[in-house]
Structure 1
Amino acid sequence: MRTQVAIIGGGPSGLLLGQLLHRRGIDAVVLERKTRDYVLSRIRAGVLETGLVRLMEEAGVADRLHREGLIHEGTQIAVAGEMFHIDFKRLTGSAVTVYGQTEVTHDLYDAREAAGARTEFEVDHVAILDADSDRPFVTYQQNGREHRLDCDFVAGCDGFHGISRQSIPLTARREYEKTYPFGWLGVLSRTPPVHHELIYANSERGFALCSMRNENLSRYYVQCALSDHPEDWTDAAFWQELRRRIPADMAEHLITGPSIEKSIAPLRSFVTEPMRWGRLFLCGDAAHIVPPTGAKGLNTAASDVHYLYNGLRQFYEEGDSEGIDRYSERALLRVWKAERFSWWFSGLLHRYPDQSRFDLKMQQADIAFLRDNEAQQRAFAENYVGLPY
């Protein structure tokens, strides 16, 4: 089998890249390790930057997003029992859209199936070969049979644990990592959100976040120890702890209910350089991880897709390799800015085990500066709604 672009990974970044390429007449085959139902069962963040929304529009898959997505023109920061508002629309002229990553993936799968584009599910033993030559190919097993996929380029969209990054020799890549000494305990419940905007809370008991998927589905988080397990937390204990970390008037109006999903996510900052090796390109979590503070994971993957898609389009339509030659440079420039924002925002809101009294005072001063200084609010808003591509 032959294609122009082999895409490893059937998550949102691989699917978005495939759909954008399809609409330009560039053939791509997607290889996914799991089933479609499994991919769609994964619960992920759902705050979309303006750039990702525009990519969905360009891909022709934004109709349901515009019908059902919630437009957020600002967010709330809570500290010491009080909240202040950051007005994205006034400060930047832009907003974000709350629309679950699962819904993004669902829309992209539907579009791919409608187009008759090829997706191979339940593939394993994937190997990327000769990526440093002009004739790369991918081998894999499916239903016990060996397959070979010849291609011009390989897009590695298979996440942190995938094969794509590991296919770049250690002598050719460098990795940067920071691990955080806490996790996020997240609960999904069929309850209305406590507020129409997200609430990011800094409290003496630790961080909390009040978020949502839609008007009747809420997502809440509290900072927890890395040694915790979801089963350590009853629903009652979670709701009690959340109430302690958010302002009293919000706690009073919080509607609780049984959790329909409960999990703990560790926090990590990670970047690998370069994001290109020969004809292999890394996208999204295959190349970088951000803490969930500020919802930059999916959005940073989307910016990678933007640079790679336009580079490939330029190559096939104009015979110009400038876009793919500069892919890693352009993608990493924006990646590191997103990493900085997520790292800074995490430091602003969480309690660290080794924080001194001085550290706490600096954190309080940083929050006060954000609350009182419009220039700082504008910088925050520009990062939150998404830096330009």
Structure 2
Amino acid sequence: MSVTRTSTVVILGSTGSIGTQGLDVISRHPERFVVTGLAAGGAHVELLARQAAQFHVPRVAIFDQAKVPALREALAQAGAQDVAVSAGREAVVAMAGSGADVVLNGITGSIGLEPSIAALRASSQLALANKESVVAGGHLLFDSQVRANQINPVDSEHSAIWQSLRSGTHAEVAKLVVTASGGPFRGWHRADMAQITPEQALHHPTWNMGPVVTINSSTLMNKGLEVIEASRLFDIPPDRIAVTVHPQSIVHSMVEFVDGATICQASPPDMRLPIALGLSAPERMDNVAAACDWTQAASWTFEPLDDEAFPAVQLARHCLSASEKHAAVLNAANEQAVHAFLDHRLPYLGIVDTVKAVLDEMDAELRGNPLFADVEEMNQIELEARRLADDLIDKQ
């Protein structure tokens, strides 16, 4: 009888959607995991304190240094006053690089890049849900002593591709097929989208996610970022990555092989499945998520993507072909535009329009030297893109 080794785990973004579901998975398998650290932004210190108490975590870190007193008070109230507290960007990066067996990165945004790099350099297995690490970081992530088997994709689409790729060699892959639910505005024409509100856009038909990812899913920018991520994670050129709209969100993505066979990964929409595999790979755990009920009638449909109504995927493909700096600017400008939309400072159609305008403005500069020298240069390019996006938003 084989004995499964206990793995130490650090969770980044523990109070967000990925982090809370990751801890739920771990709570079902206490014999397999020991949580050695939690990190979060600092907006939900009470929840962070409860997590630290429940999982007997020895240390926590938050980005927002001003929230340290509130966090200490919350820890005391939760009966976890002995937990070590650190704060600031450096503290979160240090926790990521602390040498845990697995680091689950559920941070939203490109601030997750440095923690991803730190985890890889510490030889941790990186369960990666922070797609911006791949999109914005480019070679900075993959040149950081990363081994081919060191990243476990946690995005449902990339986990599905990762699982399906077990069916053949890299040379046998003809195409990756990334599925999209189509979001709440599937079937809408662009002319109908001018008056869309944040409340409408936040109502996703199949997934329960954080606000930024949910808005990205409604514009299909999320799918554009996933095309970039798939190309870099699996070393497949963008012209061999297709996107298909699958409203039921049961088939999470597919791999087409050279002989005509297509392998898919199918399951009801539940992020605990890819999170669990990200934590335990190459093994699978039981008691994770419900499977499809094959005794019930069901229909799965697939539709072509409407690039006119949802131009974000084509814009992402352009950036992927142009340079890694273009991809970082795409991500940074989009983050600014999404926040402005959520704050009612930008119309819905203005999100992708603003991103395109920023890319057009910075195109010549980005093409001059397409690779980042280091993380600091990436941060500076992103800062420039954010400032330009903000300027364009203020003028609208």
Interval containing the TM-score (normalised by the shorter chain):
under 0.3
In terms of fraction of residues, the more helix-rich structure is: 2
Q: Greater relative contact order: 1 or 2 (C-alpha under 8 angstroms, separation 6 or more)?
A: 1
User: Normalised by the size of structure 1, how large is the TM-score?
Assistant: 0.24
In terms of fraction of residues, the more strand-rich structure is: 1
